[in-house]
Structure 1
Amino acid sequence: MPTTLIDAHQHYWQIARGDYGWMGPQVEPIRRDYFPADMKPHLDAAGVTRTVVVQAAPTVAETEFMLGLADEDNTIAAVVGWVDLHAADAVATLERLARHPKFRGIRPMLQDIEDTFDILAPACIAALERMPALGLSFDALLQPRHLPVAAALADRLPDLAIVVDHGAKPFIADGIIEPWASDIAALARRPNVSCKLSGLITEAGAEWSVAMLKPYADHLVKVFGAERLMFGSDWPVLDLTAGYEAWWSAAHELTSGLSEAGRAAIFGGTAARFYRI
């Protein structure tokens, strides 16, 4: 296993900030503040020393909130924020944020946008094509419907480092694997695309089991390889269906057939390379 274990996907938030529009009654158990002190016991138990904190609100203000936390807490190795890619000042905002030493990229909340093809709009492309020169990457919060669009984006911007969050949220609870499996295999043929082994328990639901997750996890390992796959907890969203330690254990069981080098990549090496940690 790697010397540095990295959780490549987690969140912090402060409810009073007021821009978490998705936090309705359906997520009542996690409608409270989460800060690094809340994460510390989980990191200590797993031996994880660095994390990537990812946006949870579609505002630049939330990105600045996360960067402020990163200034104070060394476990935060990288921040993935949000920028309105349709805005006239999108590139200027990216350039300003990129001056922060821990800002690593952006994540538009594509799953919440009705237009599946929104990310291919000319304004979005114009902003995204500036990102490689700024050392920034793109976290793709996808649903299965977006996978062909993500492939088109990867082809259009081959220098843009893209990582698919949560395996593109396959329909695990319903046991549906196609066309997700074929579409994500096609996307994985683009060398600038990586993927996070994260969020699978949430898609499986309260009755999740390692056996339910295994066909999906095995497929991600097969098509991306360990060198383009990275572990993420999606904590505290994870707490809606399982605790941190349960997913940490499940992820290790799901990757137990890999070589030591493969597991080292998934639990640290891939994230360190992708996010320059």
Structure 2
Amino acid sequence: MVKKVTNEQWLSEVEEEILDPSIAICDAHHHLWWREDSKYMLDDLLLDTNSGHRIVSTIFVECNSMYQANVDTSIAPVGETEFVQGIAAISASNTFGPTRVAKGIVSFADLTLGERVRTVLEAHQQAGANRFRGIRHASGWHASPEIRNSHTNPVESIMSQDKFLAGMSVLNDMGLTFDAWCYHHQISEFVKLARTFPGVTMILDHFGGPLGIGPYEGRLKEVFLEWKDNIQELIDCKNVYIKLGGLNMKLNGHGWHKRSLPPTSDELVGATAPYYEECINLFGADRCMFESNFPVDKESCSYAILWNAFKKITSRNSKIERQKLFHDTAVKVYRLID
């Protein structure tokens, strides 16, 4: 029997009253999968989104799920778009409640295909109909064997390679978005990419991946200062938006998953608020959006606790700023259709 992603019993040990339940939320980043060792499907996601916060819509981001079989590897990722498009159609029927799951779809296409990636992107457009918005080519790479590279098996400095840039030119021609997933020491490379393609709307996932394991273990304060210097390079890249979330993965080094009890929202705020505050101050609410990164972050905390933490972090922001951070910026950037 395929098990769920995390220990629900462990997560249920910490419960809180839902803060500001009327705030409309577009969860800008989550996954769906059915794997040999775990699953996170529509029913699992809805258990989380129905836990008290007002989740009106979500954006699915690729995770190497449900690829087509018996086809060329370059076109296989279109199967993931077909899979999620079906989930989105089920959600849109209103049979399972008002949340519009996967109202936007971010798929995978290998940009190192260069001009040949156009065929793959066109197939995604056909499969995703009115929901496909762009792609993510995860580029997280580190020389340390203690740090797992992204699931796309990138090489070092992939975002600077000529064939990757050729693929990005196609993305630019087609008016599609680009989600970047890299580690904090790679942010400068991403900055160069953003400056090279100012016409491509780019979204930096998970703050640019501040690491806290391997050679960075026990150096959370140092990593923050290094990240802070790097992230400021993006201020003038007006085509870049920041996803606020994804800081509770094992690779971030907080060790929540090792505890006898999961963290409270106050503990999450205490450990991670400087990242959120820095980005909101630097880029403003017009260029930032909250994300759950579930079920990956679910290895550390529950959905209800996570969004409570986000609401506490923004308790001093204006109503309009919060509306943008929790909903409007994601809707604008991914051009979600009512």
TM-score range, shorter chain: 0.7 to 0.9
Tell me what 1:229 maps to: 288
Per-residue CA deviations over 1:133-186 (Å, capped at 9, x if unaligned) read: 433101101111211111100111000001111111224672331221011111
Tell me what 1:121 maps to: 161
Output the CA distance in 1 between the equivalents of 2:329 and 2:48: 21
Tell me what 2:224 maps to: 177
1:51 has 2:58 as partner: yes
Tell me what 1:15 maps to: 35
Tell me if the contact between 1:116 and 1:146 (Cα under 8 Å) persists in the aligned partners.
no
Tell me what 2:303 maps to: 244
**Alpha-carbon shift at residue 54 of structure 1 (Å):** 0.6
Which of 168, 174, 179 is equivalent to 1:134? 174
Query: Normalising by the residue count of structure 1, what TM-score does the alignment of the two structures yield?
Result: 0.88
What amino acid is aligned across from residue 230 of structure 1 in structure 2? M
Tell me what 1:157 maps to: 197
Tell me if the contact between 2:172 and 2:197 (Cα under 8 Å) persists in the aligned partners.
no
1:95 has 2:122 as partner: yes
Tell me if the contact between 1:160 and 1:192 (Cα under 8 Å) persists in the aligned partners.
yes
**Greater displacement, 164-173 / 89-98:** 164-173
Output the CA distance in 1 between the equivalents of 2:84 and 2:321: 31
SS at match of 1:106: strand
**Alpha-carbon shift at residue 200 of structure 1 (Å):** 1.6
Tell me what 1:41 maps to: 47
**Alpha-carbon shift at residue 239 of structure 1 (Å):** 1.2
Query: Normalising by the residue count of structure 2, what TM-score does the alignment of the two structures yield?
Result: 0.73
Per-residue CA deviations over 1:103-137 (Å, capped at 9, x if unaligned) read: 11111121124534212222222222222443310
1:167 has 2:207 as partner: yes
Output the CA distance in 1 between the equivalents of 2:323 and 2:64: 31
Tell me what 1:196 maps to: 243
Q: Name structure 1 gaps, 5 residues minimum.
A: 17-30
- Deviation >6 Å, runs of 4+: none
SS at match of 1:142: coil
CA 1:85–1:246: 2 relative to 1, 3 Å: same
**Greater displacement, 71-80 / 186-195:** 71-80
Tell me what 1:64 maps to: 82
What amino acid is aligned across from residue 189 of structure 2 in structure 1? V
**Alpha-carbon shift at residue 214 of structure 1 (Å):** 1.5
CA 1:42–1:138: 2 relative to 1, 3 Å: same
CA 1:68–1:121: 2 relative to 1, 3 Å: farther
Output the CA distance in 2 between the equivalents of 1:123 and 1:238: 32
Output the CA distance in 1 between the equivalents of 2:24 and 2:160: 36
What amino acid is aligned across from residue 47 of structure 2 in structure 1? P
What amino acid is aligned across from residue 97 of structure 1 in structure 2? H
Per-residue CA deviations over 1:48-85 (Å, capped at 9, x if unaligned) read: 01100111118513333223322332322011110111
Tell me if the contact between 1:226 and 1:266 (Cα under 8 Å) persists in the aligned partners.
yes
Identity of aligned residues (%): 27
CA 1:35–1:255: 2 relative to 1, 3 Å: same
Tell me what 1:5 maps to: 25
What amino acid is aligned across from residue 51 of structure 1 in structure 2? T
CA 1:205–1:169: 2 relative to 1, 3 Å: farther
**Greater displacement, 82-91 / 148-157:** 82-91
CA 1:134–1:71: 2 relative to 1, 3 Å: farther
1:220 has 2:247 as partner: no
**Greater displacement, 172-181 / 259-268:** 172-181
1:105 has 2:134 as partner: yes
SS at match of 1:258: coil
Tell me if the contact between 2:31 and 2:294 (Cα under 8 Å) persists in the aligned partners.
yes
**Alpha-carbon shift at residue 210 of structure 1 (Å):** 1.2
What amino acid is aligned across from residue 273 of structure 1 in structure 2? K
RMSD: 2.1
Give the paired residue count: 263
Tell me if the contact between 2:24 and 2:323 (Cα under 8 Å) persists in the aligned partners.
no
